[in-house]
């Protein structure tokens, strides 16, 4: 039976028994509504099956490296990060309990997760018309899915931030939408908390989005959620993917590989491509650093076509002058 007491801990205890004895102590300071679940899963599904039988004091940096080698062969980067974080935190507790002198995970080899020898693929950034087509196809399954696509792209918002919008966040006088919360299903039910950047931000209402927002706000109480899914629940990226058959849908529209989060990148890129200063784009996205914003920006097809048209015009003028 598990206990949270650490008195008289066996000095040759295994990670399985030690994790059982400390319970959730290794999760101190971790967001219980989101991050904690990933750490628990990493500990339960990967750390303990791989290292749980080895005595704590026998876990070496080499053993940790080999464990990570086996995990990265079959798991995504985010899963791997959660797993390593869980192992690190458990062994940090063991250091504090003086069961080991140093945490071997902190001496592990630097590595590049799944090194890719192939050339990186160009980031696909849809044009506004492309997003409108995707939204229309999603709306055929349910109108809320189309609305979610439009809000994600034209507000450059995260899926959880779209879920956190209420009617009163739409300011028609100034034509702004205030994003000040995110809402998503979490451990223990629906979680509502500030956006990732921990501060509210305002996003201008773009004309293609006006009809959607008018429909969602007209004659509705200010405190009501701006939108919900078919069963009155928050639409997550996974729910949108499963309900719409997302990968097949976007491929059929000539946008293979388009991800749900790419809609936010698209909105950011549109703002930047028309000459909006990058510090303003950064504020719209809620980034603390302009450098983070730069990583979001990609050249879309429209910008490339405009560049080609200007270059062709320049070449024609040069030819005529010769």
pLDDT in tens, 176-194: 999 999 888 776 677 888 8
Does position 281 have pLDDT exceeding 80, yes or no? no
Please indicate, yes or no, whether the overall pTM of this predicted structure exceeds 0.75.
no
Q: Which ranges of the chain would DSSP assign to H, the alpha helix? A: 15-22, 35-42, 48-51, 61-72, 77-96, 128-141, 143-154, 159-164, 210-217, 237-244, 246-252, 262-273, 278-285, 290-296, 301-321
Say what percent of the chain tops pLDDT 70: 85
44-53, 83-92, 251-260, 293-302: least confident range: 293-302
**What is the pLDDT, as a whole number, of residue 187?**
65
Cα-to-chain-centroid distance, residue 103: 29
Closest Cα partner for 132 from 109, 112, 151, 159? 151
Specify the CATH architecture of the domain 128-306: Orthogonal Bundle (1.10)
Predicted confidence band at 77 (pLDDT cuts at 50, 70, 90)? confident
The top-scoring range by mean pLDDT among 73-87, 175-189, 280-294 is 73-87
- Alpha carbon distance 292, 279 (integer Å): 11
Same fold, 15-107 and 128-306: no
| Domain boundary assignment for the chain | 15-107, 128-306
- Alpha carbon distance 13, 3 (integer Å): 14
**What is the pLDDT, as a whole number, of residue 138?**
97
3-class secondary structure, 173: coil
**What is the pLDDT, as a whole number, of residue 119?**
38
Say what percent of the chain tops pLDDT 90: 53
pLDDT in tens, 21-57: 999 999 998 877 778 889 999 999 999 999 999 999 9
Specify the CATH architecture of the domain 15-107: Orthogonal Bundle (1.10)
């Amino acid at each position: 039976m598990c206990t949270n007491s650490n008195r008289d801990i066996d000095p040759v205890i295994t990670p399985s028994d030690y994790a059982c004895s400390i319970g959730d102590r290794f999760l101190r300071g971790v967001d219980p509504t989101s991050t904690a679940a990933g750490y628990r899963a990493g500990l339960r599904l990967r750390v303990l099956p791989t290292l749980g039988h080895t005595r704590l004091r026998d876990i070496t940096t080499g053993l940790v490296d080999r464990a990570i080698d086996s995990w990265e062969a079959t798991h995504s980067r985010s899963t791997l990060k959660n797993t390593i974080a869980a192992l690190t935190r458990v062994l940090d507790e063991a250091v504090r309990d003086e069961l080991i002198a140093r945490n071997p995970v902190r001496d592990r080899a630097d590595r590049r997760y799944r090194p890719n020898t192939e050339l990186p693929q160009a980031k696909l950034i849809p044009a506004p018309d492309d997003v409108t087509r995707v939204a229309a196809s999603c709306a055929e399954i349910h109108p809320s899915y189309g609305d979610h696509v439009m809000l994600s792209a034209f507000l450059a918002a995260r899926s959880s931030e779209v879920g956190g919008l209420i009617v009163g966040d739409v300011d028609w006088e100034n034509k702004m939408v205030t994003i000040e919360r995110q809402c998503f299903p979490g451990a223990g039910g629906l979680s509502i908390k500030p956006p990732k950047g921990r501060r509210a931000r305002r996003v201008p209402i773009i004309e293609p989005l006006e009809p959607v927002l008018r429909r969602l706000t007209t004659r509705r109480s200010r405190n009501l959620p701006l939108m919900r899914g078919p069963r009155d629940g928050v639409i997550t990226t996974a729910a949108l993917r499963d309900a719409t058959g997302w990968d097949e849908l976007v491929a059929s529209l000539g946008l293979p590989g388009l991800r749900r989060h790419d809609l936010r990148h698209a909105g950011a890129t549109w703002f930047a491509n028309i000459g909006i200063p990058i510090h303003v784009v950064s504020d719209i996205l809620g980034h603390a650093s302009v450098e983070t914003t730069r990583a979001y920006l990609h050249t879309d097809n429209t910008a490339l076509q405009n560049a080609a048209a200007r270059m062709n015009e320049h070449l024609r003028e040069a030819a005529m002058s010769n």
